[in-house]
């Protein structure tokens, strides 16, 4: 009896010591995160939130545009730096949005269709050359020489991506005071046929602002290589906005000549 009691006592003492050790280790880790801001930032991946993305001044909504020939809408997609300097890129994903399609919410893989989708986006700061209060033919839009996505500040990175997913790198360090446009308008040519609209189809374009701290990198190539690795590893959240091109007029959030 006495021997069995001592054995239980030894096990009880060992369990108590293990609990105390666990408390000490946990407290030490929490204290280090509280007293070492850099370590805390790394632990909680604060670099995820170095860019805010929105339509106009709207914080929380996405956008929709009706696929009607002659339709023009102001849809200013802006990216604003938040916090420290960073390298920033936009991931642009083209998604099937027809609920009756077997590929609903999957990436579009038809190159011709993607090319047509991109042709309805225009970057015209101030709406100087393409006021959306007017309608335009395909020839008008071609003659305007207005860029599609903002090529002055962004460059497509053709070293990565795939059909249905494209990446556009911001050309400079994204400083904490920067706000930049990616596109300003969605315009459906007035002379597009029903076949053109059918080719474009119900779709969603998802734009995600991905960032990484600029400090610690000698050049943009190294920074974007590290960012690609971060994105592939998963576990980080970035800000996104979506714009839907729909044949359902009742789903349109704002129509001609309205900013969102």
Residue 50: the pLDDT is 87
Predicted local distance difference test score (pLDDT) of residue 247: 83
Do the bridges between strand 239-246 and strand 203-213 make them parallel or antiparallel, or are there none, so unpaired? antiparallel
pLDDT score of 4: 39
Assign 98 to helix, strand or coil: coil
What does the alpha-carbon distance between residue 104 and residue 100 come to, in Å, rounded to a whole number?
7
Contact of 90 with 167, CB cutoff 8 Å: yes
Other Cβ atoms closer than 10 A to 50:
24
Cα distances from 220 to residues 90, 99, 172, 234, in angstroms, run: 15, 40, 8, 21
What's the pTM value of the predicted model, to 2 decimals? 0.77
13 torsion bin: left (phi>0), alpha (psi -120 to 50), beta (else): alpha
pLDDT at 237: 78
pLDDT the model gives residue 227: 94
Q: What is the pLDDT of residue 31?
A: 35
Q: Given this model, what pLDDT does residue 48 score?
A: 54
Which pLDDT score, from 0 to 100, does residue 234 have?
Answer: 83
Residues in the chain, pLDDT under 50: 1-12, 14-47, 250-260
């Amino acid at each position: 009896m006495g021997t069995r009691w001592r054995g239980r006592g030894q096990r009880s003492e060992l369990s108590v010591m293990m609990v105390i050790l666990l408390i000490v280790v946990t407290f030490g880790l929490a204290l280090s995160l509280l007293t070492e801001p850099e370590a805390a930032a790394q632990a909680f991946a604060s670099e995820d939130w170095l860019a805010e993305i929105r339509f106009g001044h709207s914080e929380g909504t996405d956008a929709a545009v009706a696929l009607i020939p002659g339709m023009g809408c102001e849809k200013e997609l802006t990216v604003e730096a938040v916090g420290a300097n960073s390298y920033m890129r936009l991931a642009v994903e083209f998604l099937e949005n027809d609920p009756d399609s077997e590929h609903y919410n999957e990436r579009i893989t038809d190159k011709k269709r993607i090319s047509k989708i991109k042709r309805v986006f225009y970057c015209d700061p101030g709406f100087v050359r393409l006021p959306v209060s007017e309608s335009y033919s395909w020839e008008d839009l071609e003659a305007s020489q207005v860029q599609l996505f903002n090529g002055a500040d962004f460059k497509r990175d053709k070293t990565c991506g795939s059909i249905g997913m494209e990446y556009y790198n911001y050309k400079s360090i994204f400083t904490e005071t920067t706000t930049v446009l990616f596109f300003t308008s969605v315009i459906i040519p007035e002379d597009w046929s029903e076949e053109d609209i059918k080719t474009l189809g119900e779709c969603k374009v998802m734009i995600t602002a991905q960032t990484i701290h600029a400090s610690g990198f000698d050049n943009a190539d190294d920074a974007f290589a590290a960012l690609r690795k971060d994105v592939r590893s998963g576990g980080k959240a970035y800000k996104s906005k979506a714009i839907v091109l729909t044949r359902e007029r009742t789903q349109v959030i704002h129509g001609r000549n309205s900013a969102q």
